[in-house]
Structure 1
């Protein structure tokens, strides 16, 4: 018996040893479909697996994940074509394990000394983003099952949906599979795609509105392994005045007397065939490909607008260096070899944007990817209907400018987003320089003819801007040698500044309490206050003639509200621009010794002009709507419910004219009494008594609202509404804990003065509505006085969605 067990044990060990014998790659992949490419890989049809042959162990490559099939909601921000994180990785082997390791390129030593490089590598953490088990090995070649890596939630969709309170989702392998049609091999890259299903319990309205079954969210996830560019690219030093994005890293090999942080321009590789020539062909032109899914006339507009950039490259001495073509029928938009302009559909209108895949080592752009929201052209058409009132008695549009303005905006949109993929920031200081850049957000220029009719002939600029040409010259001019580059770039920048160009980016334009008087989104004109008054004049003419001629025949009359929204709120962005004049500070991204103005306070006269223009926006005359128009907007018919594109309402099913006024007025007041703006008013006045002080601005506001002559009728209702909103914002300012004590003290003083006035009004006013308004205000002040730290005023109605006005920030727009 003992011999039998010994024999059995020997047999089992022999069988086990035979089973553990490593198979060759040929044996393991016998009968499988092979794909040649940067990495060879195999398709196991029976097992539904991708087996990756790794023949480049320890070699750094680029790994990019992306979302070729999106979710379809702008609110969720998970759009078709969205590029995920770009990482440098390498496959490393340890026994049977193959690790996908991401080195830490944020901290490095750019040095020929290997010990110096190693000291930095060992000082900072790296990341292993996946682990594989070798299926077969031959020398330095290993075979791994890539499938679990492909079927994971590589885009962190579950985390993002949970953050957005849409539910808890996780990838489920049983409902996920490799998507072979978009799994391809090329000499410098391999592309893999999977259909991945995330399962969970939906909690949010947005995810439920765009998914057939909200408990099962199926998308496509794409993975690219890419050969890193060669070492012939010459990085270009970043300059904050040039308008380009920066590739940043800490270089611990820099001498002590030089900056640790290194910054390089983010840009494509572009060289002249003859750098010494004034005009030369490019060694390899930049080619962008347009999504074939874009219909006409959209397609032609996008091709034309994107191609505007060739004007800038021509100005930099290149001939035909920037080209735009239709994407070949057999091309995969996610293929790294193609710079792509995609036409993206969503259930709601939203931002368009331009993104890039960038080499983290150098800042070189490897692929540009533009995503254009398809609904923005419909919003532009809607705005045109409100501006032109085109529908006559026969029901046919009488003005071809409707389509012309929508298409003109599409050209600008294409140029703008392509600009981001060339490495350019937004430039929000371009509009006062007569539309110097397509990288600004353009407000349509609406002019009035002498007879009061609308002129849209200059609605949008055509062609690339003068600032854009200077930026491309700085970023892409070929100087022939690194030695000549520094001097030449300095000369280009001196000339740019001498020509009066300015560049201001997102942080300076988007802040609600922003101070820069010319850095704005969606503004126009050289002076924000003057333009606000002009826009109000235009708006007044538009509202006076607004009618059912804005509606196509057969449309429910209630839809007149949708067309009314952008017209009634035509001033919304210029309000923000004018508010930045108040307590404003002009400044530049000045470098020491470059001769630019570093800081300069906005002159008092300009600030007071802005205050007057802002107060005009909350006057009953500007907030009221014609009775004839109100009579033409009935409650919504069945299946035409309210949306975020319509005005909020406190009147139930009926159109709320006071609600529309409230949403407009509160926006002005929030900008004017922004705590940061109030702090600057107090500070600048203390340092320079000629500057407007917070107390004086509040007195001006109260004089225009609570201390103004009482109105009667509808104007009186609007006046009392604005009075309550003014008090609400004043109390909010006084209760803001982050506001300086002097600001809160001044606000409290004005509240106390107003309280005294209200007590008199309540006792002596003959008009019941005035006494009632005074009583409500006193009760509100009383609530504040009981516990200022916990005071929360009644929330005001907000404006319908605006930004993106017919689009959809940024680098993105």
Structure 2
């Protein structure tokens, strides 16, 4: 009897367990009753009642792309969380382990391209992979399962909280009760599945940037987008990277490489483009590259952006294609985050900022799947402002602006559109183009405004029109479709050799951006093949603009205090040319040469005579003649009007808030001195004297020349109180920067030694007969105070220059 009861108990328990198991894991059809099914790359179900998305998975361990992005942004350039901003691109797959489903990312930085599966396995097991998310199976039919994808979609996939924390804007977290899926942009297509969610962040703001762009900074809402994308087929052939080619490099370490060959494999990023007839000199493409412009761009901006982007068809024609590159307005039923569309986005922020050209790229091969441009909308206004300061923009009637202002701004937008699209074609910057007859749109161009025969401003050449010669050659390298039987490596090398024969130069970011760079040809926001001559030209242009500056530079009805916003770009017109001239000093001429039979490497210092001219040009920017303001401006611009105030586009003042001519001069002088006395530059002055002989100055001679020039400027000021105040200020800043060099423990000891010797020359002898001036006494006491207690030395802080770069954005 007891045995029968036990058997009945066990049988009942087993049946209950089976019933419970069935209840826990229903069929997909049962689970999704009443839900809206969307078929596509991944089938999914939308449960309006629960506010959830359920994903159906029937392909295990199959790779696909996962891309996250930001559909609706924050609006702050400083934080950098913009509308339609791309996030990470990852190769992932779904793996099932019992009741769990893992979304796992492959580590493609380390591989073994080998026929031996054990060799490949040894590498894949040596380096970590990442599990991005784990899910529980909520329904199944055999090997086909259903998971609740909502936790992934409702997460901070774009890293917003981390970005805000690193920017010291506050500690935020996702508020689940204030977040929800966004069904309007959750869609399905044959090769991609798109999801979107409205994510609310709550926290305590600690910075000004979140406060400046959100209605309630303790709680703000963004939209995050997630894309599951089918990987391209295997018909794409990666193209080898060459440092002279002008392309971004992708790569990986191939541990199956023979020991006598480089471990790192590098290839360029580019779109897939093939000729219908590779043997034809000019052929239609199998499938063209098509870009789509954001419908939110208004006229006349829309037409300018379309025209500039379309310039790239000139380069593809030079590479042998007919109608291979098109730009159209985005269709009304298209989503800009859909990976099927290459998109030029028009993005608004609260302040001006950078534009970006990014892409969704297959990490395995470098194939660009989607080009994605973000253009900052305030850029056009900044270029308008630059032009506004150069002429009597609103004339005597005060209402109708000079039409040249808009023409210049639109010309810059055409160039900007072409530039950022160029990045999404795979091209990096070429900052040597401005010294090379504007050979590339991939440079950062300063507006090339000239003076005509009547000393009037001429804007006709402000920005180049059309694609450059370097750009055409670069597209040839990346996109040429060679006939069958061609030795591709030899053909690519011939394109690079042709660049040299054409005299086309290429210098990119790492050699152009650092303020202490030794490359004199690569620079941002400059013009002209000869930096000193261009400096002279710019200073003359600036002088004319400042002399003519008046209330006619703003419209009737605008507060006169707003003239300062227009004045700043004029006063600082030479700021980037200062950097360009400085790079001549201690500079070396070089490019990205590779070893070639019979070709001698070309790496040499800039001639000593050219460096001397550059030093004199830099010292000239410290003179009262350059740093003063015309007398007509001294009483023209009052402090900010009620309701306006000062902002980051203006100089930080030391006089209580109004226009500060001496403070402006101080900030500009300190900027020039920071380049003249850059520790890396001074170390190269020491180096070049040691390596290349007496044509090059010793560092002590270099510093003596600088000190003597500043002293001469002070003597020349005579009884002119304004000029004398500027000259004394420049000498004070020179000494402060010398002391800063002496106190710097991370620079060349030779530089420290020469700087110390120079500092000591400002100390007055104890038995000096003459009575020191106030200025001389200050310099003497500054030196003595530093020498007595160098560890307590605190330099006088000089206000930073107003925001500059991006000059047009």
- Partners of 1:555 and 1:399 in 2: CA distance: 16
Q: Is 1:748 paired with 2:756?
A: yes
Residue 788 of structure 1, aligned match among 787, 790, 794 = 790
| TM-score scaled by length of structure 2 | 0.97
Residue 390 of structure 1, aligned match among 380, 390, 393 = 393
- Partners of 2:443 and 2:768 in 1: CA distance: 51
- Partners of 1:5 and 1:698 in 2: CA distance: 101
TM-superposed CA distance for 1:758, in Å, is 10
Contact 1:635 1:653 in 2 (8 A): yes
- Partners of 2:108 and 2:401 in 1: CA distance: 60
Match of 2:76 in 1: 73
* 1:375-386 mapped onto 2 (5 Å cutoff): 375-386=378-389
Match of 2:20 in 1: 19
TM-superposed CA distance for 1:759, in Å, is 8.4
Contact 2:762 2:779 in 1 (8 A): no
- Partners of 2:138 and 2:183 in 1: CA distance: 21
For residue 500 of structure 1, give the secondary structure of its aligned residue in structure 2.
coil
- Partners of 2:698 and 2:449 in 1: CA distance: 34
Instruction: Give a deviation string over 1:628-662, Cα, whole Å, max 9, x none.
Output: 11211001111101001011100002211111111
Q: Is 1:614 paired with 2:618?
A: yes
Q: Is 1:683 paired with 2:687?
A: yes
- Partners of 1:149 and 1:163 in 2: CA distance: 23
- Partners of 2:573 and 2:716 in 1: CA distance: 27
Change in Cα spacing, 1:100 to 1:631, as seen in structure 2 (3 Å) is same
Change in Cα spacing, 1:596 to 1:329, as seen in structure 2 (3 Å) is farther
- Partners of 1:790 and 1:588 in 2: CA distance: 44
TM-superposed CA distance for 1:19, in Å, is 2.3
- Partners of 1:716 and 1:456 in 2: CA distance: 36
Instruction: Give a deviation string over 1:235-265, Cα, whole Å, max 9, x none.
Output: 0000000000011100011111111000001
Q: Is 1:732 paired with 2:740?
A: yes
Change in Cα spacing, 1:185 to 1:758, as seen in structure 2 (3 Å) is farther
Match of 1:205 in 2: 208
Contact 1:666 1:725 in 2 (8 A): yes
Residue 657 of structure 1, aligned match among 656, 661, 665 = 661
Instruction: Give a deviation string over 1:602-645, Cα, whole Å, max 9, x none.
Output: 00111011111111111001100012112110011111010010
Match of 2:423 in 1: 420
- Partners of 2:435 and 2:427 in 1: CA distance: 19
TM-superposed CA distance for 1:136, in Å, is 1.4
Q: Is 1:260 paired with 2:267?
A: no
Instruction: Give a deviation string over 1:298-346, Cα, whole Å, max 9, x none.
Output: 0000000000000000010100000000000010000000000000000
TM-superposed CA distance for 1:217, in Å, is 2.1
Contact 1:474 1:492 in 2 (8 A): yes
- Partners of 2:307 and 2:652 in 1: CA distance: 39
For residue 418 of structure 1, give the secondary structure of its aligned residue in structure 2.
helix
- Partners of 2:545 and 2:572 in 1: CA distance: 11
Q: Is 1:800 paired with 2:808?
A: no
Match of 1:38 in 2: 41
Match of 1:810 in 2: none
Contact 1:758 1:774 in 2 (8 A): no
- Partners of 2:101 and 2:475 in 1: CA distance: 44
Match of 2:780 in 1: 778
- Partners of 2:365 and 2:382 in 1: CA distance: 40
Match of 2:348 in 1: 345
Instruction: Give a deviation string over 1:373-427, Cα, whole Å, max 9, x none.
Output: 0001001111111112221221133631111000000000000000000000000
Residue 643 of structure 2, aligned match among 639, 653, 661 = 639
Contact 1:445 1:456 in 2 (8 A): yes
Instruction: Give a deviation string over 1:140-193, Cα, whole Å, max 9, x none.
Output: 311100001100000111011001000001112111111011101111100000
User: Which stretch has the larger CA shift, 386-395 or 47-56?
Assistant: 386-395
Equivalent pairs counted in the alignment come to 801
For residue 370 of structure 1, give the secondary structure of its aligned residue in structure 2.
strand
Match of 2:238 in 1: 235
- Partners of 2:340 and 2:666 in 1: CA distance: 52
- Partners of 1:631 and 1:469 in 2: CA distance: 52
- Partners of 2:145 and 2:655 in 1: CA distance: 70
For residue 371 of structure 1, give the secondary structure of its aligned residue in structure 2.
strand
- Partners of 2:607 and 2:180 in 1: CA distance: 64
Instruction: Give a deviation string over 1:335-367, Cα, whole Å, max 9, x none.
Output: 000000000000010000100111010000000
Q: Is 1:720 paired with 2:708?
A: no
TM-superposed CA distance for 1:483, in Å, is 5.3
Contact 1:587 1:600 in 2 (8 A): yes
- Partners of 1:759 and 1:356 in 2: CA distance: 70
TM-superposed CA distance for 1:780, in Å, is 1.7
Contact 1:607 1:692 in 2 (8 A): no
- Partners of 1:625 and 1:389 in 2: CA distance: 18
- Partners of 2:537 and 2:431 in 1: CA distance: 20
TM-superposed CA distance for 1:500, in Å, is 1.1
- Partners of 2:488 and 2:642 in 1: CA distance: 66
Match of 1:176 in 2: 179
For residue 486 of structure 1, give the secondary structure of its aligned residue in structure 2.
helix
TM-superposed CA distance for 1:480, in Å, is 3.5
Instruction: Give a deviation string over 1:544-585, Cα, whole Å, max 9, x none.
Output: 111111101100000000000000000000000000000111
For residue 626 of structure 2, give the secondary structure of its aligned residue in structure 1.
helix
TM-superposed CA distance for 1:760, in Å, is 4.8
Instruction: Give a deviation string over 1:762-791, Cα, whole Å, max 9, x none.
Output: x435xxxxx111122122212321333453
For residue 439 of structure 1, give the secondary structure of its aligned residue in structure 2.
coil
Q: Is 1:151 paired with 2:159?
A: no
Match of 1:599 in 2: 603
User: Which stretch has the larger CA shift, 568-577 or 709-718?
Assistant: 709-718
Residue 404 of structure 1, aligned match among 388, 404, 407 = 407
User: Which stretch has the larger CA shift, 783-792 or 597-606?
Assistant: 783-792
Q: Is 1:764 paired with 2:771?
A: yes
- Partners of 1:55 and 1:481 in 2: CA distance: 40
Contact 1:588 1:596 in 2 (8 A): no
For residue 758 of structure 2, give the secondary structure of its aligned residue in structure 1.
helix
Contact 1:589 1:598 in 2 (8 A): no
Runs of at least 4 residues of structure 1 off by over 4 A? 1-13, 757-761
Compute the RMSD of aligned alpha carbons.
Answer: 1.8
Instruction: Give a deviation string over 1:702-737, Cα, whole Å, max 9, x none.
Output: 011135415231101111111111111111112111
* 1:551-570 mapped onto 2 (5 Å cutoff): 551-570=554-573
Q: Is 1:627 paired with 2:628?
A: no
* 1:297-308 mapped onto 2 (5 Å cutoff): 297-308=300-311
